[in-house]
Amino acid sequence: MYAILRNSALTTASILFIIGAATVFGTIMTIEHIPSQIANAMLSVTENPILLILIITVMLLIVGCFMDTTAAIIIFTPLLLPVGMELGYDPIHFGMIIILNLAIGFITPPIGVNLFVASGISGVSILSLSKAVLPFIGVILITLFIVIFVPEISLFLLGSD
């Protein structure tokens, strides 16, 4: 029982350390107004809606690699939602796009929290796990692009009004 509790504590501590560091990073970004600068820069690049959603997607994929998902949602959703609505996206659909993008960060190095959990439980190195999840990341990216360009997938439960 002692070994189980010790391993659980170590796994939890490493995850909480990652979340704490990401939260500090998010706070610093907010204080420095970096998210609003990013949103303004995206809108100044192009007015093409497809290119803008691809820019948002790439940005969120990068953010998901380095920030905790909860902190990223709290910081970026209020900034990106108006951009998404201006592009004609339904708020629920755009929310799904944000969540799917950031969820990919759970299994993407260097901060992929699920990689650390899996490594702690299995004893397999982060590097080996990172290589093993590459096919899954590919499938998730395909799913993400289907959701982006087929809004009915996210909105079918709303019914027709």
CA–chain centroid gap for 15, Å, is: 16
CA–chain centroid gap for 105, Å, is: 5
Written as six digits, the tokens of 8 are 């659980």
Note down pLDDT in tens along the chain; length 161 residues.
999 999 889 888 877 887 787 778 777 877 888 777 777 777 788 878 889 899 999 989 988 888 878 778 877 887 888 888 878 889 999 999 999 999 898 888 777 778 888 888 888 998 898 898 899 999 999 999 999 999 888 888 776 54
CB atoms within 10 A of CB 79: 18
Annotated domain spans of the chain: 2-158
pLDDT digits (tens, 9 = 90+) for 85-132: 878 889 999 999 999 999 898 888 777 778 888 888 888 998 898 898
Peptide bond into 78 cis (omega under 30): no
